[in-house]
Amino acid sequence: MKGFETHLLRLQPSSPLSPELSNGYLPQRQGLNNLKFGNFHLPRSSSPSSHSMLKLFSSTAASRAHHHLTPAIRPGASSVDSPFFKALSHLTGLNRRSNSLGGGRRVFFCSDNASDAAAAAAAEAEAKAAESDSDGSESKSSSAIVATNPRPEDCLTVLALPVAHRPLFPGFYMPIYVKDPKVLAALQESRRRQAPYAGAFLLKDDPSSTDSSSSSTDVEKNINELKGKDLLNRLHEVGTLAQISSIQGDQVILVGHRRLRITEMVSEEPLTVKVDHLKDKPFDMDDDVIKATSFEVISTLRDVLKTSSLWRDHVQTYTQHIGEFTYPRLADFGAAICGANRHQAQEVLEELDVHKRLRLTLELMKKEREISKIQETIAKAIEEKISGEQRRYLLNEQLKAIKKELGVETDDKSALSEKFKERIDPNKEKIPAHVLQVIEEELTKLQLLEASSSEFNVTRNYLDWLTILPWGNYSDENFDVVRAQQILDEDHYGLSDVKERILEFIAVGRLRGTSQGKIICLSGPPGVGKTSIGRSIARALNRKFFRFSVGGLADVAEIKGHRRTYVGAMPGKMVQCLKSVGTANPLVLIDEIDKLGRGHAGDPASALLELLDPEQNANFLDHYLDVTIDLSKVLFVCTANVIDMIPNPLLDRMEVISIAGYITDEKVHIARDYLEKTARGDCGIKPEQVEVSDAALLSLIENYCREAGVRNLQKQIEKIYRKIALKLVREGVVPEEPAAAVDAEEAEIVTKLDVESTENPVSTAKEPKEEAKNEKTAIEKVMIDESNLADYVGKPVFHAEKIYEPTPVGVVMGLAWTSMGGSTLYIETTVVEEGEGKGCLNVTGQLGDVMKESAQIAHTVARKIMLEKEPENQFFANSKLHLHVPAGATPKDGPSAGCTMITSLLSLAMKKPVQKDLAMTGEVTLTGRILPIGGVKEKTIAARRSQVKTIIFPEANRRDFDELAENVKEGLDVHFVDDYKKIFDLAFVSDNKQQD
């Protein structure tokens, strides 16, 4: 075959081919025409197709038998020392390799289906020579091939051995494991009888199993369970006649010979079958298509062999034992060593058409080559990445070493140590001794640790926190009381209690020459300025400001820090605060302290005890730093809505300042001086463009923003100014970009021309435009009054709390406190049914337990007073009464409605209304004593909002009322009582006297 030998010789890239053979093979072909291999002579022919296939034999090194199969090299046109002969000897092992295979005789076993009589005679002669040569040749031979007496084609009945994963191809080894003792015994018996042959058949897929990814252990287990006909039905019909090379325990080594087809079953245990020996279909050796296909297979094999060392090992092993490298053998070789699945390999095994078999093998080889290319690409990319990283690492290390030698740069540990020392050197005298000792110890420890260890990072972070803190650094405080007063007044209106306390703090600091930290708690409803006043206080004191909220905080570590042993450990909020502000005397605002949580990670309220205790925070210990910190200079300002939610031990450490809220006058001032200016600036509106009347502002406060704070008032004012801005833009007050301008420059030019024409009218044609401009200027100012307020903020949210103008019989106005401020509350009583002995009381209005008890007490006290005033009046004894507190959807509770309930019941019993514009509050005992209540300021503000003129307070609350501002108390007639009899006189007797 033309060129076929060339491709075969090039299958092994590692073969030491000379330049003459690889680059100039055609001139060397003359030497191949005169070579003889055994009994086969390759004659010279004018037609390349007349060459027979190259037949390779493996033989022993023994040369004493004149009829052995070692090829006899006869000299011809070429010398034995030619490069081609050396390469051929290296491929087939005819030269040096035969001497190293051992002293035993290696017998040719691969029979060819198309072999002629000479080949059969040679094989028979070799068998006889092997039999008469030596009795112990089998044990002495180093080869795995066992000498056999019967010819393979004589085996018509064989044991059927199932193969689980891939079929066995002729010329290849395959180890299998036989677990069945009967089958193993039959194989050993066949080997002893010099008939070591069996049939290897691929196992079909289990039709009952849907899982295609079964493990090899499960497959082996299924094979061992199959017997007899079940096993026969699971085997493919076409298999391979295999020689039993060796048996070691339950491992059997098989060597494939030729193709078989099962015809019928002979016995079930062990499974023995009759077989037919299959031969390849006749084909034309000179067919160009077959030649081209085989050459392509060889070319593909050569490409794959360049990248796969495992395949080169397959070629070396295969060429030692193959008899004749023909087209069929080439197809089997390619299909056997590629990574095709079992079904594709079985398809090649069953194909008897040589051309089709070569095509199938070629497809599998092409796939294998593509896989090899992908594998090579992946390996190359990974190698490049690894080599790049290693190169970069080596260069960096060399650079560090060079810089270190030149003194340009030190290593990482030295640089870190220098950085930490530079931080502490300027303030070394201010750092406490115990902290300085810890820093020195950690610096020494850092030098001993490897930079790659985890402990190194922990120590580095620890030193970073220790050295970054402002040990002994304090900001210069402002001790000027006048300047502090100006700053506080600039930011907030009212809040005289808070401002007075801050000025006291500054005055004490000025007299002492230094200031100490304090813990102040600002309590009040939302929106009264508790949080914003903290920033103003810090500005007035010239201190750094830091705020953090503890609302919902449930982890103690947020306050005290984590232990350094934890991964990702960090210090607590106070250490972070000191690092952030850079001074040791900041103002720290702890927001929402009444909303602390509590979870599995501890109780943060208890952790705050050490932080907010003036006697303890001078030595505050953070779990992360593990050294004490002086927080005695820190001014703590806490905020809370309801101080009742703060734990008593924590509340005891704070100085509470209550911010009750703002009355209407204060809200008007705040709106004018602060909120309006801010809203105008945010919306880009000039003061001369908008005017909000006092009536509109008062209506906005009374009907839309009645709460104690001003947050909602700020939202409503911003809403008004946003709508005004939209209105101004729509009316064209702000020049819009001309539609004719195609870009920004043209628009700017047109705008400038309009301005110039407005300022300097040149022609009379522009006068109409000027007049229109003046008309627009005339309507630019937007007026907001009470009549059009609803157009900007919608319909009123609140209506007048004063439901009754003169209060009817059985109705009395009370005063209540809520978290949003104070409010008025009506107590209504009516008669349901009258009759002998039907006296009782029903209450409604979503009243709490305390308020229900107050109603019962009020009913008892009212009956007692009625007996004293009108003994003959049996109203309470014979009347079923119903007491209601509107609104019913609002939950209500508290003891301060007792006197109001009594007055309502007495008014109904005597059929007399109470004095006009009267409101009262106070808790009543069974003996008629009036106890003090809370929220005096809020209730007073609520009474003023409802236009109440007369208020009745308990005598114990006189001090609270006297502390109120004069503008709050102005116009009110306030009475302080300690017994209900005085309330009775004020509510009823005084009214009768006025009527008389």
The reply to whether omega before 242 is within 30° of 0 (cis) is no
Q: Vertex 285, ends 284 and 287: CA angle to 5°?
A: 65
Query: What single-letter DSSP state applies at residue 765?
Result: G
Provide the 10 A C-beta neighbour count for residue 386. 10
Examine the residue annotation and report whether 573 is marked as an active-site residue of this protein: no
Provide the 10 A C-beta neighbour count for residue 116. 12
Angle of helix 309-321 relative to helix 288-307, nearest 10 degrees, comes to 130
Q: What is the DSSP string of 849-869?
A: HHHHHHHHHHHHHHHHHHHHH
3-state secondary structure of 200: strand
Q: How far apart are CA 853 and CA 876, in angstroms?
A: 18
Examine the residue annotation and report whether 896 is marked as an active-site residue of this protein: yes
Q: How far apart are CA 990 and CA 915, in angstroms?
A: 8
- 896 CB burial (10 A radius; 0-12, 13-18, 19+): buried
Give a three-class secondary structure readout of 684-722.
CCCHHHEEECHHHHHHHHHHCCCCCCCHHHHHHHHHHHH
Distance of CA 368 to the CA centre of its chain: 41
Q: How far apart are CA 825 and CA 829, in angstroms?
A: 13
Residues 6+ positions from 52 with CB-CB distance below 8 Å? 40, 42
Q: What is the DSSP string of 517-536?
A: --EEEEE--TTSSHHHHHHH
Residue 383, amino acid: E
| Structure tokens belonging to residue 570 | 């960090």
Residues 6+ positions from 978 with CB-CB distance below 8 Å? 929, 930, 954, 955, 956
Q: Which of 109, 130, 92, 117 is nearest to 40 (CA)?
A: 117
Provide the 10 A C-beta neighbour count for residue 598. 13
Q: Which of 286, 252, 278 is nearest to 349 (CA)?
A: 278
Dihedral sign from CA coordinates of 179, 180, 185, 188: negative
- If you compute the radius of gyration of the chain from its CA atoms, what whole number of angstroms results? 54
Compute, in degrees rounded to 10, the torsion defined by CA atoms 895, 898, 904, 906.
160
How many alpha carbons fall within 13 Å on the CB side of residue 573? 19
Q: Which of 699, 896, 904, 907 is catalytic?
A: 896
Provide the 10 A C-beta neighbour count for residue 796. 14
What's the first-to-final CA gap in the chain, in angstroms?
Answer: 146
Query: What single-letter DSSP state applies at residue 985?
Result: I
Query: CA separation (Å) from 929 to 862, 925, 954?
Result: 13, 5, 9
Q: Which of 530, 573, 667, 939 is catalytic?
A: 939
Residue 815, amino acid: L
Q: How far apart are CA 902 and CA 828, in angstroms?
A: 11
Q: Which of 626, 596, 590 is nearest to 611 (CA)?
A: 590
- Exposure string (b/e) for 835-856, b if CB count within 10 Å is 16 or more? eeeebebebebebeeebeebbe
3-state secondary structure of 267: strand
Dihedral sign from CA coordinates of 457, 462, 465, 466: negative
Residues 6+ positions from 764 with CB-CB distance below 8 Å? none
Could you list the active site residues? 896, 939
